[in-house]
Structure 1
Amino acid sequence: MGDLCAECNQPAELKCSACKLVSYCGKDHQKSHWKTHKTLCRPFEVQENKDIGKCLVATRDLSPGDVILTEVPLVMGPRPHMVEEGPVPCPGCCRLIIGETSGRCEGCDFPVCHPGCPGLKDMEKHGHECVVLGLRDVTAINGLHEFYRQDALLALRCLLLQKRHPKRFAQLLEMESHMERRGPNSDIYRDVDERVADYLHSNFFDPMRILEGRTGQKVLPDVSRETIHKVCGIIDVNALEINQNAEVSALYPTAYLMEHSCLSNTSHTFDSESNGYKITIRAALPIKKGDHITTMYTHALWGTQARREHLRETKYFSCKCQRCVDPTELGSYLSALKCMGTSDEPCGGVQLPLDALDDSTEWACNQCEVRLSNHEVSFLVNQIGEEVDNVQLSNPTVRELDALLTKLQTFLHPNHYHSYSVKHSLIQLYGYQQGYMPSQITDDCLVKKATMCRELLEITRKIDPGNARLPLYTGVILHELYLANMILIKRKWDLGMKTRVKSIITLLRECKKCLEETKGVLKNETTTPAGKKLNDLVNTSFKEFCKFVERNKIDLNREEIKE
C-alpha cells in the first residue's frame, strides 16, 4: 500500500519537503494540514559530507527560539567516575551516593543512594543490568569503590540493548566510534581494555557464559572485546553530559549528528529525570535554509589552544570554525597576552598568534618586534592556569582575588579567559563577603564591580551571541550589575541627591534592561538547580525594582521624578 494523505487519508505522492515524514494528495491539503504538522515537522534533513560525515542541515529558515528537535535517549547511565575515593553515582538514579541512607542493591549488592531508590527496579535503568551484575562473586569485593574502579556501567547498558531493544542497539552502532584512532597500539585502547573489557569479562561475562552453558540460552549475543571497544568509543565521542541533581551520560538517536562549532547556532536543554531527560534543541541564532545545525563539544570559555587540544584528544578532529581561525576570537581577545617585551617601558601592545590553527605558530606583538614561540605561550598560560585553579579552589577572599587579578594583568590581556574567570568570581563576592556586604562596600568598589560586569558582558556576547552555551554566566553577570547599580542608587537617594536625576535615571534604566534581558536569557533554564535559583532571584529583584520606582514616583521615560 502506498502513502496516504495526512489530511484526507487518500492515496498521496507529495511528501513534506522539510521532514519527508508525511504525505499529501495535493498542495491544498498540505497547506491546510500545516497548522497541525508544523509542531511535528523536523526542520532539517540528514546529509552526508565528505569531510565531516553525517550532519544535520536546515530545510527551512529558523529564528532564535524555534524548536528544532526533541527526543529521548537511546540509553543513559551514570557518568564515568574514575575515582579511588569520594562519592560514586547510584546506578538507579545517577545521584552521588552521600549520606546515612545509602546502602546496597538487594539484587546485585551494588552501592546505591537508598535501598528504595525507584531506579533500581526500573528495567530501563538498573533493573535489567542487575541480573548480570549479580553474577559477580560478592565475597571477592573489597569495598565500595571496587564496583566503580573500572567504571563500565554505561557500556554494559549499551550491550544490554541487544536483547531488550535491538533496534536501539542497531542505531547505537551507527554512531561514530573513531576506532581507527583507538586501535590496539593506542593508550586509549589499553586503558579501555583494562578498565572496561577485562572488568566486564572477568566479573560478569565469564560467569554469564557458565550460566548460558547450563541453561542453553544466550543472555547476550555479542560481548566480544571488539564490540566493547566500539561501544566505549561511541560513548566517548557522542555521549552528552547532564547535570541536574545527578551525573548522567546519555546517547541520543539524532542529536549526536549535530556537528561542532565554537560559535554554535543551537542551544539545548534537558527535561527532568521523571521525563526521561528528553532533550530539546532550539535555534540560538538565525539559521538559514541550507545552513548546518551546530552545537559545541567543548567549553566556550576556554581559549583557542585549549579548545582545539581538547577536541583533538576527545573527538579526534581539529576545529577550523570561525572563532578558531580568528586570532582575536571574534574580537573577544580571550587568549591574548600583553606584550612580553624586555625594554624598560612596555610598548602596550597585544600578542596574538600569527596563525591560530598552527600549533607551532609564533605569537607576535602588534606594536613592536617581540615574538614568542607557541611552546613558551603554552607554558606560561598553563602555569597561570594552575595558580588560578589553586586560588579559586581555596575559598578565596576579595583581597586574594583582587591581588591575583592584578598579577594576571601583568601578563595577560584584560579579556583573557583566566582573567575572565577571576572577574566572574569577584563580582559574586562584592556585596556578599564580610567586609564587602551591601552596608559595608564602598562606592568605588561598587563602581569597580559594575565596570567588571559590563566588561564581562561585552566578552560573553561576542563568543556566545545567542546565549547557546553561557546563559547562566550571562544571567549572573546581568543580575550582579543590577545589584551594584541599585545599591548606588539607594545610597544617592537616601542622601537626598535627587538633583542628580539624570544620572540616577540612567542607572535605573540599565537596571531595568538588565532584569528584562536576564529573564530572556534564563527562560529555558528551569530544569537545573542553579537555573531555578537564579530565576527566583531575578523575579524577586524585578518586584523590588518595580516597587522602588513606583514608591518614589520615578518616570523612567521622561527623566523626571513626579511630585
Structure 2
Amino acid sequence: MDTNMQESVPILVSYLNSLADINPSWSCQNDAHQKYHSNTFSNLLGHEYSTTKNLEIQRSNNIEKPLFHEISNPTAHGSLKIEYSPTFGRYLVASRDIDAGDVVFREKPLVLAPKAGTGPTCLRCLKFLEDAWEVVTGVELPCARQLARVVGILLTNARSSPDWDSETARTCLSLKCSTCCTPLRTLLLLKNNPAAAEVVAALQSNKEVRRKLQIGHYIEEHVVGTLQKRLNLDVKSDVVHHICGVFDTNAFEVSVDDSRRGRALFPLGAIMNHSCLPNTQHWFRDGVLIVRAVTDIAAGESITNTYTPMLLGTRGRAAHLAATKLFRCACKRCLDPTELGSHVSSVLCRSCSRSDRSFVVPPDGALKDWQCLECQNRMPDVAVETMMRAANSTRSRVPLHDLEALRVTSDHLRMMLGKRHYITLEVRYALMNAIMRQPLRDIKDDDLDIAVEISGDLLEIASIIDPGFSRFRGLVLLARIRASTEKLKRSCDNAPLCNGTSHKSELGRVMQEDEEEEEDKELTEMDDATPRQKAQMLLREAAECEFILQYDPKMEEALATTNQLRSFLNDS
C-alpha cells in the first residue's frame, strides 16, 4: 500500500468532522463562511452549472461557503471513526453499536456529473437529452441549452467537419463530452476550493497501475488530449489520471428518478470497505447520500458496502472487482463454492434423480472440474463456462417489458441451469417485475401465482446473500404483498360463509382483534393460513417493507399498498 494513504488519514478525519451539519447526532464547530468571487470563464462556468441551483440535486462545492470547516484537532464524530491498516488502507469503523435500520451517516456529493459514455445529458438536472443534437444546431430547449453551452468549443470545430451530419460523428462527440465532463467539473472544484483539492488528493486512484492498462491509454488520448488540445486548458496529465481513477474507483451511481442518472463522489462513502455481504446500503435522496445499517453493526466492526450487484455469481463479482477496483475479495461468500448454501453459482446436476436440489458446484480454481455434491459427477470447467455464456447471451436478448418472452426464457433457464442460478434469478426477477408493472385488475390469476412464487424464492435467496433490511428484500416484499393482497381480494369478493356473511366481512374484524393474543400465535405458511391470518401476515410484511423503503422512491407505492390493504380489511 502507498504510505501516503496513512499520512492522509487526518485529512479524511477532518472531512468526516465537517459533515456534522447534515448528521444531527454529531456536533462540530462552525467557522465563518468564506466567499469566493471571480469572473474568469472557468469559474463562471463552474458557478453557472453548479447543481445547487436545482433543489433536487445538490453539490457540496457551493461557492458561497467553504466545502468544510477546518478543524485543528480532528477527531471522530457520532457513530464512526477512520482507521488504517496495511491490508485495507483507510476504512470506516463503528465507534458504537449500531442497530439495523439506523442511519450511519449522510453526505452530500463533492462532485456530481453525468455518467461517462452515456451520451448527451443535461448538466443541470441529469436528464438524458433525446433531441440534443437538434438543440446544439439551433433549436432551443431548456435542459439541452445547458449542454449546448458547455460543449460549444468542441462543437465549433466539429460542425465544420464534412461528416458532422453523420450519426456516428455525433455519437462519438457526445460520448467524448460526457467522458470529459467529470474531470472538467472536478478541476473547477479543485481550483476554487483548496480544501476540496486535499480531499480528492487523499482518495485512492490506482493511477500508476491504470496507466499501464487500456483504460490509461484511453484517458490519455480522449480525456487529457481533449482538455489540453481541444479546450486549451493548462492541466497536468497526472492530475487528470488521478481524477479519473478516483471516480472509477470510488464514485457512486446515483439516480433522481428513472430518467435522471449520474455518478457522484462521496469521500466518506468511498472509504467504506467492500464486502459481498455488506452491513449497509445507501440511498440518494434530495441531493444527499443516506447510508443505513441493514444488519446490526457492533462497535469496532468495519462499515461495509458492496461494489458488485448482489445477483451475480462469484466469478462475475471477481471479474468486476478486478477490472474496476483492482483487488480480489476474500469474504466468506467468495470463499465458499456454494455461496453460503445459496448455490447461485452452481448448476443443476443432470445425473441425479433429485435434479431440483442436486448441484454441481464450482471448483476452488480455474480450469478445474465442477463436481456434484450428491453423486460426485464431474463436469469440465470449459463445458460449464460455455453453457453459462450461452445462458447469458439468451438473457441479454430478452426485452425486460416482454412478459411472454421473459416467461419462456425463465422456463428455459430453469431447465438449463436451475432456478437458483443467478442468471435464472435475474430473469425471474425481471418476470416478477413485468407482471406487477401491470394494473392489478389486468393481471391474470396464473400470473399472480407466478409473482408470489418468484417472490418467495427470491426472499429465500436474499436471506442468505443479502441479509437484513436490504433494498432488494424491500422491493421483493412489495411485489409479494401487492400480488398476495390482490389474490386475497379476488378470493374473498362475494365468497359466502356458512352464516351468510362474506369473507370480506370476516376479514374486516381483523383490525379489531386483541393484539397481544395475535402476537402469541404461531402463524402458518401463507398457503395454509386462514384469510384472517393471511391478512395479518400481509400487514406485518407491509410494515417491514415500509421500514426498509422509507428513503426509497418506491415508498409511495408501499404506503399506497398498505392503505389499500387496510381499506380492504376495514370494508365490511
Q: TM-score, normalised by structure 1?
A: 0.74
Q: Secondary structure at the match of 1:281?
A: strand
Equivalent of residue 383 in structure 1, options 382, 390, 394? 390
What is the deviation of 1:140?
3.4
What is the deviation of 1:311?
0.7
Corresponding residue number in structure 2 for 1:467: 469
Corresponding residue number in structure 2 for 1:542: 562
| One-letter amino acid of the structure 2 residue matched with residue 455 of structure 1 | D
Equivalent of residue 52 in structure 1, options 78, 88, 98? 88
CA distance in 2, matches of 1:145, 1:159: 25
Q: Secondary structure at the match of 2:81?
A: strand
Corresponding residue number in structure 2 for 1:560: none
Deviations 1:451-470 (A, max 9, x none): 22212221122222223452
Q: Secondary structure at the match of 2:397?
A: helix
| One-letter amino acid of the structure 2 residue matched with residue 62 of structure 1 | I
Corresponding residue number in structure 2 for 1:337: 347
Q: In structure 2, do the counterparts of structure 1 residues 134 and 549 end up closer, same or farther at CA, with 3 Å as the change threshold?
A: closer
Equivalent of residue 169 in structure 1, options 178, 181, 197? 197
Contact 1:515 1:538 in 2 (8 A): yes
Residue 367 (str. 1) matches residue 374 (str. 2): yes
Equivalent of residue 175 in structure 2, options 145, 149, 152? 149
What is the deviation of 1:172?
0.6
Corresponding residue number in structure 1 for 2:34: none
Q: In structure 2, do the counterparts of structure 1 residues 449 and 231 end up closer, same or farther at CA, with 3 Å as the change threshold?
A: closer
Q: Secondary structure at the match of 1:391?
A: coil
CA distance in 1, matches of 2:154, 2:436: 55
CA distance in 1, matches of 2:539, 2:225: 59
CA distance in 2, matches of 1:39, 1:477: 40
CA distance in 1, matches of 2:27, 2:490: 47
Alignment of 1:296-335 (within 5 A): 296-335=306-345
Corresponding residue number in structure 1 for 2:278: 264
CA distance in 2, matches of 1:233, 1:365: 42
Contact 1:479 1:518 in 2 (8 A): no
Corresponding residue number in structure 1 for 2:211: 183
Q: RMSD of aligned C-alpha atoms?
A: 3.5
What is the deviation of 1:324?
1.3
Structure with more of its chain in helix, by fraction: 2
Percent identity over the alignment is: 24
CA distance in 1, matches of 2:201, 2:91: 17
Q: Secondary structure at the match of 2:104?
A: strand
Deviations 1:322-374 (A, max 9, x none): 22122222332222210143x9996962111232xx33443210111322233
Q: In structure 2, do the counterparts of structure 1 residues 81 and 52 end up closer, same or farther at CA, with 3 Å as the change threshold?
A: same
CA distance in 2, matches of 1:92, 1:39: 32
Q: Secondary structure at the match of 1:254?
A: helix
Q: In structure 2, do the counterparts of structure 1 residues 346 and 289 end up closer, same or farther at CA, with 3 Å as the change threshold?
A: closer
Residue 200 (str. 1) matches residue 227 (str. 2): yes
Corresponding residue number in structure 2 for 1:288: 298
What is the deviation of 1:169?
1.6
Alignment of 1:404-553 (within 5 A): 404-430=409-435, 438=441, 441-442=444-445, 445-470=447-472, 473-491=475-493, 493-494=494-495, 496=497, 503-525=530-552, 531=553, 534-552=554-572
Q: In structure 2, do the counterparts of structure 1 residues 510 and 419 end up closer, same or farther at CA, with 3 Å as the change threshold?
A: farther
Q: Which runs of 5+ in 1 are unaligned?
A: 1-16, 23-34, 121-125, 209-219, 526-530, 553-563
Q: Secondary structure at the match of 1:158?
A: helix
Q: Secondary structure at the match of 1:269?
A: strand
Contact 1:519 1:535 in 2 (8 A): yes
Q: In structure 2, do the counterparts of structure 1 residues 416 and 111 end up closer, same or farther at CA, with 3 Å as the change threshold?
A: farther
What is the deviation of 1:168?
0.8
What is the deviation of 1:513?
2.4
| One-letter amino acid of the structure 2 residue matched with residue 140 of structure 1 | A
Deviations 1:511-531 (A, max 9, x none): 222322221221121xxxxx2
Equivalent of residue 130 in structure 2, options 78, 88, 98? 98
Corresponding residue number in structure 1 for 2:187: 159
Deviations 1:238-280 (A, max 9, x none): 11111113222111222111011111111222232xxxx2222
Q: Secondary structure at the match of 2:322?
A: helix
Q: In structure 2, do the counterparts of structure 1 residues 313 and 113 end up closer, same or farther at CA, with 3 Å as the change threshold?
A: farther
CA distance in 1, matches of 2:107, 2:437: 41
Deviates more, 1:344-353 or 1:512-521: 344-353
Residue 396 (str. 1) matches residue 402 (str. 2): yes
CA distance in 2, matches of 1:102, 1:69: 43
Contact 1:19 1:45 in 2 (8 A): no
| One-letter amino acid of the structure 1 residue matched with residue 362 of structure 2 | P
| One-letter amino acid of the structure 2 residue matched with residue 138 of structure 1 | T
Q: In structure 2, do the counterparts of structure 1 residues 111 and 462 end up closer, same or farther at CA, with 3 Å as the change threshold?
A: farther
Q: In structure 2, do the counterparts of structure 1 residues 448 and 261 end up closer, same or farther at CA, with 3 Å as the change threshold?
A: same
Deviates more, 1:88-97 or 1:140-149: 140-149
| One-letter amino acid of the structure 2 residue matched with residue 371 of structure 1 | R
CA distance in 2, matches of 1:177, 1:100: 32
Q: Which runs of 5+ in 2 are unaligned?
A: 1-12, 29-76, 507-528
CA distance in 2, matches of 1:72, 1:18: 15
Deviations 1:477-524 (A, max 9, x none): 333443353244335x53557799863223222322232222122112
Contact 1:266 1:282 in 2 (8 A): yes
| One-letter amino acid of the structure 1 residue matched with residue 570 of structure 2 | E
| One-letter amino acid of the structure 2 residue matched with residue 236 of structure 1 | D
Corresponding residue number in structure 1 for 2:269: 255
Q: In structure 2, do the counterparts of structure 1 residues 452 and 134 end up closer, same or farther at CA, with 3 Å as the change threshold?
A: closer
CA distance in 2, matches of 1:254, 1:538: 30
Contact 2:347 2:417 in 1 (8 A): yes
What is the deviation of 1:474?
2.5
Q: TM-score, normalised by structure 2?
A: 0.73
Q: Secondary structure at the match of 2:225?
A: helix
Alignment of 1:5-20 (within 5 A): none
What is the deviation of 1:445?
5.0
CA distance in 2, matches of 1:499, 1:160: 68
